């Protein structure tokens, strides 16, 4: 598998997997992306630990920022400040959507909003896919 095949993913597939698994696929997505970063010597990380600690308060905001920053740095040629600011925005949106699932009262309609926590991930994946396609197009 090439680097691009490891990191690229169909947006339709990501959406379907996320909805069908009630957003549990987002955990797998995070693990796969951390694994990609480790395998390609971008950064020495333990993908399992980085994925699992995302369930802890505060770290569920910080860890996506770190991951999104690495993914944008790998797949785009944006400046450092743009990468950090966009990563922070997407991580904030991810956490806000995820927070709707923390209230486990019966008949709480807002809990279903937490299923949509894949939306910021979808945008990140879109940027990754389009950057890879652009790199391949320029390589020809």
Using CA atoms, how far apart are residues 14 and 104, in angstroms rounded to an integer? 26
- pLDDT at residue 103, as a whole number: 66
Phi first, then psi, for residue 64 (nearest 5°) are -60, -35
Provide the 3-class DSSP secondary structure of residue 9.
coil
- pLDDT at residue 23, as a whole number: 84
What is the residue-level pLDDT of the chain in tens, covering all 140 positions?
Answer: 566 667 889 999 999 999 899 888 999 999 999 999 998 878 899 999 999 998 888 888 889 989 988 888 888 777 778 888 888 888 888 888 877 776 667 777 777 777 888 888 998 899 889 888 887 888 77
**Closest by CA position to 53, among listed 66, 44, 43:** 66
**Dihedral of the CA atoms 117, 52, 92, 132 (nearest 10)?**
-70
- pLDDT at residue 5, as a whole number: 66
- pLDDT at residue 2, as a whole number: 62
Q: pTM of the full predicted structure?
A: 0.85
């Amino acid at each position: 598998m090439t680097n691009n095949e490891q990191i690229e993913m169909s947006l339709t597939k990501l959406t379907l997997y996320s909805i069908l698994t009630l957003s549990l696929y987002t955990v797998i997505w995070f693990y796969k992306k951390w694994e990609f970063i480790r395998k390609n010597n971008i950064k020495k990380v333990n993908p399992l630990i980085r994925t699992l600690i995302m369930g802890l308060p505060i770290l569920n905001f910080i860890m996506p920022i770190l991951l999104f920053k690495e993914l944008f740095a790998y797949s785009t040629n944006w400046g450092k400040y743009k990468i950090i600011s966009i990563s922070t925005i997407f991580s904030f949106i991810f956490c806000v959507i995820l927070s709707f699932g923390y209230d486990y009262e019966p008949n709480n309609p807002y809990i279903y909003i937490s299923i949509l926590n894949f939306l910021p991930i979808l945008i990140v994946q879109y940027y990754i896919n389009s950057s890879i396609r652009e790199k391949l197009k320029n390589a020809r």
